[in-house]
């Protein structure tokens, strides 16, 4: 095997190898070259952020220069970690603590020997020996190898996926009685109040629509942050405040909607106005969309436009007989609406270990 490093400034030199490896069946939209190009540009390569983020891309090839695996690695040379709080010095995935709900190495096939070689290489070159790999999906071979071979501490969290059934009536009957009743009630409520519900799927959005969607998202995000903070200890709140200050000082917000070239955007409308949305990436190879952002306009919450119109979309898509989407991956979080629509739990884990 051969190992070679590429700096963030040399990211484009990996394009051919990356696009070959991203065809692997375990790769999501969050492992594509196009997605990492956004991350590389905004979070790694800019000089003003280099004090806080140092990135490297490690390519493993065979003796004939065939690419085997790419490891997108963030190196933390100066960490702060006290009594279980903070960030330890060591190696992490590039893309952590951002929009990437699934993190992984880039590969068609992964073997323990590839990872062992990378870990020993990194330890030797940077004189660090702590590794932390977050958001690794349980349905990947990388998860299995990390879990079985490296004596890791593991911390689990949940994502949710919504497969589209082959028969809509079967799907409808699988929903709970209360969910079916809630959907009927929402439709009746909108009809009574002369609220016309509709949906559309868009593969690109203009700047004005993007601004509207982000404003709706901020409503939802503000409430989630407030609810989360109310359950934190004083120590955790203090740590979050300090971390957010550093992040905001070191980097400018990225408008991901304006960076993504091709999207899958589900928009539910109420009398023509945007009432709810799901903004996602689409991977045609596995007919899967991966949720990035979501929101419901507060004044239309009473009519449940997101749930009712997603239900209607699935009915239309399944009954069409030619589904373009097999799975709506709702990614991180186990919100109530995901369970109502019969989404399935998917464990993702953080693996911490030293060698």
Tell me the average pLDDT across 325-345.
94
Q: What are phi and psi of 87, to 5 degrees?
A: -125, 120
Q: Which fold has domain 161-345?
A: Aminopeptidase (3.40.630)
Mean pLDDT within 95-107: 93
* Domain ranges for the chain: 2-150, 161-345
pLDDT band of 165, cuts 50, 70, 90:
very high
As a whole number, mean pLDDT of residues 122-134 equals 95
Confidence (pLDDT) at 48:
45
Q: How far apart are CA 14 and CA 85, in angstroms?
A: 35
Q: Looking at residue 233, what is its pLDDT?
A: 72
Q: Which whole number is the average pLDDT over 172-197? A: 96
Instruction: Convert the pLDDT of each residue in 43-75 to its tens digit.
Output: 765 544 555 558 899 999 999 999 999 999 999
Digit-coded pLDDT (tens) for 4-23? 999 999 999 999 999 999 99
146 contacts: CB under 8 Å, gap ≥ 6: 115, 133, 136, 152, 351, 353
Which CA distances in Å does 208 have to 59, 268, 278? 40, 16, 16
- Identical fold at 2-150 and 161-345? yes
pLDDT band of residue 242 (cuts 50, 70, 90) is low
| pLDDT score of 17 | 98
Tokens of 200: 């559309």
Average pLDDT, the chain: 89
Decide if 161 contacts 327 (C-beta within 8 A): yes
pLDDT in tens, 250-292: 455 567 888 898 899 999 999 999 999 999 999 998 899 999 9
Among 157-166, 199-208, 237-246, the minimum mean pLDDT is found in 237-246
Given a cut of 60, whether residue 225 has pLDDT beyond it is: no
What is the C-alpha separation between 165 and 241, in angstroms, rounded? 43
User: Does 314 score more than 60 pLDDT?
Assistant: yes
In the beta sheet, which residues pair with residue 56?
Answer: 73
The torsion of the CA quartet 85, 90, 94, 95, rounded to 10 degrees, works out to -10
The secondary structure of 114-135 as a DSSP string is: HHHHHHHHHHHHHS--EEEEEE
Fold classification of 2-150 is: Aminopeptidase (3.40.630)
3-state secondary structure 296-325: ECHHHHHHCHHHHHHHHHHHHHHHCCCCCC
Does pTM surpass 0.85?
yes
Strands 273-283 and 264-270: antiparallel
Q: What angle do CA 156, 158, 161 make, to 5 degrees?
A: 145
Report yes or no: 98 and 30 within 8 Å, Cβ to Cβ.
no
- In the numeric block, which tokens belong to residue 231? 């359950």
Q: Would you list the DSSP string of 197-245?
A: EEEEEES---HHHHHHHHHHHHHHHHHHHHHHHTTS-HHHHHHHHHHHH
**What pLDDT does residue 178 have?**
95
pLDDT attached to residue 47:
43
């Amino acid at each position: 095997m051969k190992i070679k490093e590429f700096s963030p400034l040399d990211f484009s030199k990996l394009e051919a190898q990356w696009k070959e490896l991203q065809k692997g069946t375990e790769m999501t939209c969050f492992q594509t070259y196009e997605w990492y190009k956004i991350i590389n540009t905004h979070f790694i390569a800019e000089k003003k952020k280099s004090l806080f983020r140092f990135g490297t891309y490690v390519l493993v090839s065979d003796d004939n220069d065939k690419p085997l695996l790419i490891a997108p690695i963030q190196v933390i040379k100066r960490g702060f970690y006290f009594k279980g709080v903070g960030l330890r010095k060591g190696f992490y995935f590039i893309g952590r603590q951002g929009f990437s709900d699934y993190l992984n190495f880039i590969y068609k096939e992964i073997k323990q020997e590839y990872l062992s070689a990378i870990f020993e290489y990194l330890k030797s070159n940077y004189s660090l020996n702590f590794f932390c790999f977050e958001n690794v999906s349980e349905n990947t071979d990388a998860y299995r190898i990390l879990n079985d071979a490296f004596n890791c501490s593991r911390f689990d969290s949940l994502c949710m996926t919504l497969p589209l059934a082959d028969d809509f009536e079967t799907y409808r009957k699988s929903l709970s009685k209360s969910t079916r009743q809630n959907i009927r009630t929402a439709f009746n409520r909108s009809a009574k109040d002369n609220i016309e519900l509709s949906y559309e799927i868009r593969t690109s959005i203009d700047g004005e629509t993007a601004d509207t969607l982000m404003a709706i998202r901020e409503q939802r995000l503000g409430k989630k942050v407030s609810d989360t903070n109310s359950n934190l200890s004083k120590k955790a709140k203090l740590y979050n405040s300090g971390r957010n200050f550093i992040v905001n000082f070191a980097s400018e917000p990225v408008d991901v909607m304006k960076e993504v070239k091709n999207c899958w955007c589900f928009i539910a409308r109420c009398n023509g106005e945007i009432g709810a949305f799901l903004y996602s990436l689409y991977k045609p190879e596995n007919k899967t969309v991966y949720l990035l952002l979501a929101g419901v306009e507060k004044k239309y919450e009473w009519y449940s436009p997101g749930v009712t119109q997603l239900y209607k979309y699935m009915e239309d898509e399944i009954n069409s007989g030619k589904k373009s989407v097999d799975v709506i991956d709702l990614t991180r979080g186990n919100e109530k609406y995901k369970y109502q629509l019969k989404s399935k739990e998917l464990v993702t884990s953080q693996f911490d270990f030293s060698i």
